[in-house]
Amino acid sequence: MEGQNRQLSPKWRIFLQVVVVILLMSLFAGALAIPFVYQSTSLWYKTGFERFLLYGGKIAGLLAACLLFIQILLVAESKARASLFPRKSLIQLHRSNGLLIGGLVLVHPLLVLWSEQFTLLQLEWKYWPEFVGIGLFFLLMFVINTSLFQKSLGLAPRLWRRIHSTAAPGAAVLLVIHVLNVSDSFKSGPPRFSTLSAGAIFLAVWGIHLGKRIFFERRT
């Protein structure tokens, strides 16, 4: 099922690895530039330290979003990817990434709320994008903690895998809904298009990955 590092010469492999890394870094840099290039109106009313906090919160959130979108690319089976990167390394990166996402997901609302002097949200329908973000926060905390403490919680590997693979697309959907509606930076243009594309790619890769695993499990 999983391909070995064959067919590619070492030089080509290194070259393609560098190309993939540069491509990913470029996508990350583009995403993190969004708050500066497509400035939201909430920044009009922030000065000094509060402005710094709000930018920090947006960057933390966008970085978490980018890392979340690539999570599926790290674990989905692919012969092309397997010829470039060892599977074991990618699984380890997937786990480390998950922890990093957990940290960023804690920092993001903290910085945003701090920039607003911790003015709490009221339970009103008009704040639904923020409430989607809160739901996403709890879902991600659930996924990360069930993964970290799988054995302590007594979760059987099969059950854990079901939880994990069901929560993943849920998180991607909530993330896209939250990002597209919580900030007017994403109302139109390249930010909106790229967010929708990232979400669509995530769901497509997840769907193929899940389909392959179900097919393989049924055969064995």
Rama region for 120: left / alpha / beta (φ>0; ψ in -120 to 50; rest)? beta
What one-character-per-residue DSSP string does 13-76 give?
HHHHHHHHHHHHHHHHHHHHHHHHHS--GGGGG--HHHHHHHHHHHHHHHHHHHHHHHHHHHHS
Virtual torsion, Cα 177, 203, 88, 104, nearest 10 deg = 0
Q: Taking CB under 8 A as the rule, does residue 39 contact another protein?
A: no
Cβ nearer to another protein, comparing 25 with 121 = 121
Distance between CA atoms of 147 and 140, rounded to whole angstroms?
A: 11
Instruction: List CB contacts of 78: < 8 A, sequence separation 6 or more.
Output: none
Using the contact rule CB under 8 A, the part of the chain among 24-32, 86-94, 119-127, 185-193 near another protein is: 119-127
Using the contact rule CB under 8 A, the part of the chain among 54-62, 72-80, 113-121, 160-168 near another protein is: 113-121
Residues of span 127-166 touching another protein by CB under 8 A = 127, 130
Applying CB under 8 A, the site for another protein has a residue count of 14
Instruction: List CB contacts of 179: < 8 A, sequence separation 6 or more.
Output: 61, 65, 186, 195
Q: How far is the CB of 77 from another protein (least distance, A)?
A: 43
Q: Please name the amino acid found at residue 8.
A: L
Q: Taking CB under 8 A as the rule, does residue 122 contact another protein?
A: yes
Q: How far is the CB of 149 from another protein (least distance, A)?
A: 35
Task: Work out which of 4, 9, 119, 220 binds another protein, going by CB under 8 A.
Answer: 119
x/- mask, another protein, residues 41-80, rule CB under 8 A, reads -x-xx-x---------------------------------
Structure tokens at 148: 């970290």
Q: Taking CB under 8 A as the rule, does residue 124 contact another protein?
A: yes
Q: Taking CB under 8 A as the rule, does residue 123 contact another protein?
A: no
Q: Taking CB under 8 A as the rule, does residue 194 contact another protein?
A: no
The residues that touch another protein, with contacts defined as CB under 8 A, are: 42, 44-45, 47, 116-117, 119-122, 124, 126-127, 130
